[in-house]
Amino acid sequence: MVNVNEPIAGRRAESFVSVPISDDVAAMNTEHATDQQSPHDAVFAVEDLEVYYGEFRALKDVSLDINMHEVTAFIGPSGCGKSTFLRCFNRMNDLIEGARVEGRIDYHGVDLYDERVDPVEVRRRVGMVFQKPNPFPKSIYDNIAYGPKLAGAKKGDLDDIVERSLQRAALWDEVKDRLKSSAYGLSGGQQQRLCIARAIAVQPDVVLMDEPCSALDPIATGRIEELIGELTSDYTIVIVTHNMQQAARVSDRTAFFSVQLNDEGMRTGELIEVGETRAIFTNPADSRTEAYITGKVG
């Protein structure tokens, strides 16, 4: 059993070599940070966010920052709204009937839910990896190429984009000889890395991950955690996980959510505490956080 009071060590794989991204591909993302940017600037600033499904308040009063080039983890018991919250960052909740958001999420200075903002472009810039790997019923190549093609990548660039994305997702060597074969022929862990490659192929600056390892075996999980460490040099990662040890291993900051039963017996999620992962796990400020982390509460 992992002692969560141990300091987090060795998250970033020193041996990983970053693959340089060519100018015209990078041009698709105007504010891609290749120069000296302070890594602690906020990508997202959330203020008093509330999420409703119809009349039901699923999440209340959330305020926090997501910082650039960091891994932020959302932890908490099931039903506490962490996935709901995650989906606010790429406006995936828009797809659900009756879902609405109050409060503000600021994305690089823009109100994400401003009615002039096109959610389609938001989703290109804020990518997502889902709990169960969900590759398209197409070839490996077409899985990766789908997004860039829509975003306007030229035919000639696609081969490069596919290769770079697969390299970045640490999958290239395993599939380079069978790019045209079906994505369903890959193992679970490979499929999830494919999904990661697919997400980064459109040059996002944020990648959201909704319990990406919960359907995978420990070895595949380990590879993905390693990958997350490697990806932070270029992307900002937000990960929802029900596995505390995972949060302790991979993240820089952690936000702990819990569920509150209100007068009518409805469960509303709320943010209890957010801070540097090390601090949260060794010296949490709130007793509820401590109770969850030490296993007193589920």
Partner 1 sequence: MAVVTTPGQVARTTAADLEKRAGADVAGAVFKWTLIGATTFATAFLGVLLLVMVVDGWSVLSGSLGHFLTHGFSQSADNTGVWQGILGSLQIALVTLVLAVPIGVATAIYLVEYSGGSRFARLVELNVRNLAGVPSIVYGLLGLAVFVQTLENFTQGRTVVAGGMTLAAMVLPIVVITSVEALKAVPQELREAAYGVGATKWEVVSKQVVPAGASTILTGTVLALARALGEAAPLILVGAATGFISFGDANWLETFTGPFTALPVLIFNFARQPGEEWAANAAAASVVILVVVLMVNGFAIYLRNRFEKKW
Partner 2 sequence: MTTTLSIDELQTARGRRARASAARWVFLSAAAVTVLVSLLIIWTIASEAWSFASEVARDQLFAIGWYPRRGLFDLSTLLVNSAQISAVAMIVAIPSGLGAAIYLAEYAQPRVRRVMKPTLELLASVPSVVLGVFAISFITPSLLSNFFDDINFFNKLAAGIAVGLLVIPLIASISEDALRAVPNSLREASSGLGARKVTTTIRVVLPAALSGLMAAAIVGFSRAIGETMVVTIASGGGDTSLFNTSLFESGGTITSAMASLGLGTDQVAGNDLAFQSLYFLGALLFLITLGLNLIGNAIVNRLREKY
Q: Count the alpha carbons within 13 Å of 37 in the hemisphere toward its beta carbon.
A: 18
Kindly determine how many residues on this chain lie close enough to bind partner 1 according to the rule CB under 8 A: 31
Cα–Cα distance, 151 to 148 (Å, whole number): 5
Q: How far is the CB of 16 from partner 2 (least distance, A)?
A: 24
Residue 155 interacts with partner 2 (CB under 8 A): yes or no? no
Q: Which of 60, 82, 123, 193 binds partner 1 (CB under 8 A)?
A: 123
The SS3 call for residue 169 is: coil
Binding mask 17-36 for partner 2 (x = CB under 8 A): -------------xx-x---
3-state secondary structure of 87: coil
Using CB under 8 A, which of 109, 137, 156, 218 touches partner 1?
A: 137
Site for partner 2 in 163-182 (CB under 8 A): none
Say which DSSP state 81 is in: S
Q: How far is the CB of 237 from partner 2 (least distance, A)?
A: 17
| Cβ atoms within 10 Å, residue 86 | 20
Rounded CA-CA distance 226/243 in Å is: 16
Q: Which residues contact 162 (CB under 8 A, 6 or more apart)?
A: 141, 144, 145, 179, 201
Shortest distance, position 139 Cβ to partner 1, whole Å: 9
Query: Does 116 sit near partner 2 (CB under 8 A)?
Result: yes
Q: Closest approach of Cβ 123 to partner 1, in Å? A: 4
**One symbol per residue from 82 to 111: x for binding partner 2 (CB under 8 A), - otherwise; what is it?**
-------------------------xxxx-
Could you give the C-alpha distances from 292 to 80, 133, 251, 276, in angstroms and in order? 12, 28, 17, 17
- DSSP-derived letter for residue 7 is P
Beta bridge partners of 207: 127, 237
Q: How far is the CB of 267 from partner 1 (least distance, A)?
A: 23
Q: How many CB atoms lie within 10 A of CB 134?
A: 13
**Is residue 136 near partner 1 by the rule CB under 8 A?**
yes
* One character per residue 194-223, x = contact with partner 1 (rule: CB under 8 A): -x--xx-xx---------------------
Strand runs (DSSP E) across the chain, as ranges?
42-53, 56-67, 71-75, 99-107, 110-111, 126-129, 206-210, 236-240, 253-261, 267-276
- Total site size for partner 2, rule CB under 8 A: 22
Q: Which does 33 bind (CB under 5 to 8 A by kind): partner 2, partner 1, none?
A: partner 2
Which of residues 40 and 176 has its CB atom nearest to partner 2 in the complex? 40
Binding site for partner 1 (CB under 8 A): 90, 92, 95, 97, 120-125, 127-128, 130, 132, 134-138, 146-147, 150-151, 182-184, 195, 198-199, 201-202
Binding site for partner 2 (CB under 8 A): 30-31, 33, 37-38, 41-42, 68, 107-110, 114, 116-118, 120-122, 125, 150, 152
